[in-house]
Amino acid sequence: EAQVTQNPRYLITVTGKKLTVTCSQNMNHEYMSWYRQDPGLGLRQIYYSMNVEVTDKGDVPEGYKVSRKEKRNFPLILESPSPNQTSLYFCASSLIAYSNQPQHFGDGTRLSIL
Amino acid sequence: AQKITQTQPGMFVQEKEAVTLDCTYDTSDQSYGLFWYKQPSSGEMIFLIYQGSYDEQNATEGRYSLNFQKARKSANLVISASQLGDSAMYFCAMREGRGLTGGGNKLTFGTGTQLKVEL
């Protein structure tokens, strides 16, 4: 089954404790992206990757890091999480950039930073 | 800067009735794509329908259709014969069409419309 898999689905942690949210897709997609969803703001892009070893900032990159060492994986790293990073996070992928194909989303990761 | 506006925070519709969810957008790009996603209470994002800026016909996917009015920059979602399972948050989103810079395949989302289908 074609899918984007995020882990963990839920995480409660404390300020300053490094965490990684993993994202993996099995569709051989070139393009991957991270979004965060906050009430009243819709989804906003954090980082994206056009292909392996090619990443760039989205609209709200502060406090986040990413890497794309393999085509299928695109982890999101919070080096020193803070309460304002409490949010619902989505990883998404699509075949290529600028395509008319929809982005496929993972099921989301709900992070609470205390 | 691109912007998506969804002016209806919440909507109610009777089962089996049709409902229109509004979406207007703002862009200076000639090439762009418009998407609608559904987010049920379980949280996942489900793709519903796509309309390209150069598509001459309105997109349709089963009970979903997109009323695309390019001159007015609107891309309203029409759901026919509403079902209880259609109760969800609905997001309109736009893809940038500019070159190799500026977010790649980034989707700019509206703030969503919460739809409630009633018996």
Report the share of chain B in percent with pLDDT over 70.
91
Nearest chain A CA: its distance from B82 CA (Å)? 23
What residues contact A2, with CB distance under 8 A and at least 6 apart?
A26, A27, A104
CA atoms within 13 A on the CB side of B5: 9
What residues of B are in contact with residue A104 (Cβ under 8 Å)?
47
B38 reaches A (C-beta below 8 A): no
The DSSP bridge pattern shows strands A42-51 and A31-38 to be antiparallel
Per-residue pLDDT reduced to its tens digit, B70-103: 999 999 999 999 999 999 999 999 987 655 444 5
Least confident of A43-57, A60-74, A96-110, B8-22: A96-110
What residues of B are in contact with residue A42 (Cβ under 8 Å)?
4, 91, 109-112
Per-residue pLDDT reduced to its tens digit, B51-65: 998 888 999 999 999
A10 reaches B (C-beta below 8 A): no
Q: Residue B29: what pLDDT?
A: 83
What residues of A are in contact with residue B4 (Cβ under 8 Å)?
42
Mark yes or no for CB contact B111/A42 under 8 Å: yes
φ, ψ (nearest 5 deg) of residue B86: -80, -10
